[in-house]
Structure 1
């Protein structure tokens, strides 16, 4: 069974929380297209593109917690865990080319994670995120 969670820095303002979750969702949809349901129609025949077919809670942590979680999650990728990160470098970039240049010049320990998306075996995802609170 697949589980997916988003973990966002609780210090972010609401707009950046939404932006971070949206950016992570775009990448998740690219990596795991099977998580998006088929297109549907309502009773009037109006089409509705497929949306997520699984529950995706949004949890919160602080900056240090996100850094530690990213490090711990990286150690579990061989077990089938997928890890997507949204960093301050991405948030400040003016274009994807700018992001590419900035990221290439930034060491891992210098990155500040605004949010993470973890996806994979449910027990594995829960083992890393089970103690984190929901975004309220």
Structure 2
């Protein structure tokens, strides 16, 4: 099975929040997906370069409604084997993880506004969900 990874980020966000959302999603992907980060490599001068992603990660544009709809679809039976990371207004508006865990517990799934999400898994399934989305530019 060929694997694919994409991010979908709300294109209506300011550039700084888009960048922050992508960074948060990427860090979690790197922690959770085995071998998505390659080993350290050496350049021609013998200097080391810490491993980077081994998988291209297109960043697609969405809006908060499309992202929430996509997240809901991922939790259906058909797509339940995909790995998903989401980043919401509950996370973006807190200053530390303890504050985030307390704040998100006060929201229902319907109350959360999603700034972005990342999907990783079977390429056909990821394409089925995101194939019609354009690149965020």
Scaled by the length of structure 2, what TM-score is found?
0.95
| Residue matched to 1:118 | 119
Give the corresponding residue for 1:62: 63
Alpha-carbon distance between aligned partners in 1 of 2:75 and 2:52, rounded to the nearest angstrom: 28
Specify every segment of 5 or more residues in structure 2 that has no aligned partner in the other structure, as ranges. Answer: none
Say whether the 8 Å CA contact 1:11–1:62 is kept in structure 2.
Answer: yes
Matches of 1:98 and 1:77 in 2, distance apart?
31
Post-superposition, which runs of at least 4 consecutive aligned residues in structure 1 deviate over 2 A?
none
Kindly state the Cα deviation for residue 33 of structure 1 after the two structures are TM-superposed.
3.0
Once the two structures are superposed, residues 22-51 of structure 1 have per-residue CA deviations (whole angstroms, 9 ceiling, x without a partner) of: 000000011103111111011111111100
> 1:77 offset after TM fit, Å?
4.3
What residue ranges of structure 1 are gaps of 5+ in the alignment? none
Structure-1 separation of matches of 2:34 and 2:42: 20
What TM-score results when the alignment is normalised by the length of structure 1?
0.96
Number of residue pairs matched?
Answer: 135
Mapped contact 1:81–1:120 kept (Cα < 8 A):
yes
Partner of 2:26: 25
Q: Counterpart of 1:93 in 2: which secondary structure?
A: coil
